[in-house]
Amino acid sequence: MDAEDYKVQDISLAEWGRKEIDIAEVEMPGLMASREEYGPQQTLGGARISGSLHMTIQTAVLIETLQALGAKVRWCSCNIFSTQDQAAAAIAKAGTAAVFAWKGMNLDEYWECTLKALDWGNGLGPTLIVDDGGDMTMMLLEGSKWEKIWEEEQRLPDPSRVETEDEQALFRILQLEIPKNPNKFRNYVSQVKGVSEETTTGVLRLNQLAAKNQLLFPAINVNDSVTKSKFDNVYGCRHSLPDGIFRATDVMLAGKKVLIAGFGDVGKGCAQAMKGCGSRVYITEVDPICALQALMEGFEVVRIEKYIKDIDVFITATGNKGIILAQHMAQMKHNAIVGNIGHFDNEIDMKGLKDWPGIQRLNIKPQVDKWTFPDGHSIIMLAEGRLLNLGCATGHPSFVMSTSFTNQTLAQIELWVNKDNGKYENKVYKLPKELDEKVARLHLKALGAELTVLSNDQAEYIGVNNTNIDIVHKKIQENMLLYSSDPFLILSFSNPNYYKIQLDYHQYSFD
């Protein structure tokens, strides 16, 4: 990598960033164990990994893990507000990746940075992608699509024909790039062996593409690993939502009425956090099962229209669009706080808010704005409707991101070691369950937990043979896995007899 192959806010922040990375490494046992296990054999040797994922301190540890496993890395952020500039500077200074990210970039700069992260020079593109939300994947696929249209019809993408500002900015850069090199994106796609996707919305995009046979390379859905969605999405948001609100507003949440739109994994974590702060929590939901879960947790399930004038804090967590509209905000109480913790900013109608006749915007501090309606009442908008926990704070803590990013590392390894054997088609896959449990086990040890082993009497009572869990861990470490299917994990032993254990309500068989 060229020593100057980066674009960051301030390279002098590198020393600060390195100190924080050193602290984070201790809190990320899964990634450090991955370096120890896979580093010596350089499992990712020869891989060119392009990543589009929040450029935080935790992501810096992921980047340096991929590099320690033999990969070369180029990186950009997946959100204009989520970069920690000291983290980007530390990675750029160390040269462990070419990084193109800074907090507060505009949308045109955002897509330029995404393109820079894809461009390896001399016609080379990435062989693997780490994506969060699917923007890097979409740039490749949209670019390839429009190259064909340009070739056949001499027609370029028209930004005025798409709805969101993000899409318009993407189309602007494609307009510029395609005439200069009409085969760039198709060339890049031909080199990609696979993508691992971090978040719910990105997985939705991939599944839609796969259903239409428009996915041009294999994809691993990291989000639906249990040690991602049930940890990062729940416990990460439980930690980072109040952190973002407090840093942005210093408001006291005890006694306040808080409405959480959506009670999926993210919404569950958010609702727990607000309840823990002493708030009175209301839930909006379209899914009857999630709604019933919310009720069983003691929350009110309501329609936003009925409570719009009474709520103090609104948080969207659905992954859908058009959840809080401008007409909703026009009816809110004075100084109601509005924020989003879903991946994209289209959950809140920012365009409708900006276009409201007579509306006035007053910036309080970075990523905190007061919008005043003509009738005199105001709302406090956090992070311009983008991820408030990253825009107004620093996102999830290191430990929970270690579970997510260890899954990302294992997904990248899985795609790379199987790149030439036809194991993966252009479809969306999940990591096998035994890898999920391996990730959990690595983090249990760091917290000093000890797993219970059945007594012989207990094993006989439920009809299984007893053995030691250490056998499982040892055989997984030795990569002796043959295949698995839920609920059985099947490993190859030299002993022809079956040995069975029970752990966490799952039964495992060994032959």
Structure tokens at 284: 């909006």
Partners of 11 in the β-ladder: none
Residues 6+ apart with CB under 8 A from 380: 248, 249, 335, 336, 337, 338, 364, 368, 369, 370, 371
Q: Which of 27, 112, 119, 232 is catalytic?
A: 232
| Mean pLDDT, rounded, for 92-97 | 97
Report, in this order, helix, strand and coil percent for the chain, each rounded to 5. 45, 15, 35
Q: Is 473 a catalytic residue?
A: no
pLDDT at 106 over 90: yes
Q: Is 443 a catalytic residue?
A: no
Q: Which of 2-16, 52-66, 474-488 has the lowest mean pLDDT?
A: 474-488
| Mean pLDDT, rounded, for 497-503 | 33
Distance (Å) of CA 9 to CA 65, 99, 110, 264, 304: 23, 11, 13, 35, 40
* The predicted structure's pLDDT at residue 433: 86
Q: Is 457 a catalytic residue?
A: no
d(CA 86, CA 194): 30
Q: Is 237 a catalytic residue?
A: yes
Q: Which of 58, 79, 82, 346 is catalytic?
A: 82
Q: How confident is the model at residue 153 (pLDDT cuts 50, 70, 90)?
A: very high
pLDDT digits (tens, 9 = 90+) for 39-62: 999 999 999 999 999 999 999 999
Q: Is 392 a catalytic residue?
A: no
Structure tokens at 207: 């599944």
CB of 102 within 8 A of CB of 78? no
| 72-76 β-sheet, strand order | 98-100, 72-76, 48-52, 128-131, 194-197, 219-221, 428-430
Q: How confident is the model at residue 511 (pLDDT cuts 50, 70, 90)?
A: very low
* The predicted structure's pLDDT at residue 478: 46
* The predicted structure's pLDDT at residue 454: 87
Q: Is 82 a catalytic residue?
A: yes
Q: Which of 76, 78, 113, 237 is catalytic?
A: 237
Average pLDDT, the chain: 90
Structure tokens at 204: 């939705």
Q: Which of 184, 228, 256, 328 is catalytic?
A: 228
Q: Which of 34, 67, 77, 86 is catalytic?
A: 77
Q: What is the helix (H) or strand (E) element at residue 139, kind and residue range?
A: helix 135-153
| 506-510 β-sheet, strand order | 481-485, 488-491, 506-510, 499-503
Higher pLDDT, 481 or 274: 274
How many other C-beta atoms are found inside a 10 Å radius of the C-beta of residue 241? 28
Considering the entire predicted model, what is its pTM?
0.87
Q: Is 187 a catalytic residue?
A: no
Structure tokens at 264: 């999926």
d(CA 302, CA 402): 35
Contacts 24+ apart (CB under 8 A), 481-488: 481/432, 481/434, 484/432, 484/433, 484/434, 486/433
Q: Is 334 a catalytic residue?
A: no
Residues 6+ apart with CB under 8 A from 177: 115, 143, 184
* The predicted structure's pLDDT at residue 220: 97
pLDDT at 388 over 80: yes
Q: Which of 396, 419, 438, 443 is catalytic?
A: 396
Structure tokens at 62: 């992921």
d(CA 296, CA 293): 5
Q: Which of 7, 54, 72, 268 is catalytic?
A: 54
Q: Which of 233, 240, 367, 502 is catalytic?
A: 233
Q: Is 190 a catalytic residue?
A: no
